[in-house]
Amino acid sequence: MALVVDLVIYFNFRQAQGNATSNSAEALTDQGRDSRRQMTAQEADFADRQLSQAASLGQVAANYLLAMQDADG
């Protein structure tokens, strides 16, 4: 009888251990995915700000060239 109880405890422990390992791996995968998603959003925002600044500077340069052309014309 003690052997049966020991085997039941052993197999339940092994199953719980396997479930914990699986849950831990899934949690780490989810955490990695969330971190990559957050980093991608931050990089996109940064790139958007850089492109907006470049577009603004391009507009200033174009306006300057037009003003210089009008002044010479």
Task: Return the pLDDT at 68.
Answer: 94
Q: Into how many domains does the chain fold?
A: 1
The tens-digit pLDDT sequence of the chain (73 residues) is 887 777 778 888 888 888 888 889 999 999 999 999 999 999 999 999 999 999 999 999 999 999 999 988 6
Task: Return the pLDDT at 73.
Answer: 62
Q: Is residue 68 part of a domain?
A: yes
Residue with tokens 């791996």: 25
Q: Is residue 16 part of a domain?
A: no
Q: Is residue 67 part of a domain?
A: yes
* Domain enclosing residue 56, as ranges: 48-73
**How many CA atoms are closer than 13 Å to the CA of 62, on its beta-carbon side?**
6
Q: Is residue 15 part of a domain?
A: no
Task: State how far the alpha carbon of 31 is from the alpha carbons of 27, 38, 40, 56, in Å.
Answer: 6, 11, 14, 38
Q: Is residue 6 part of a domain?
A: no
Q: Is residue 66 part of a domain?
A: yes
Q: Is residue 9 part of a domain?
A: no
Q: Is residue 63 part of a domain?
A: yes
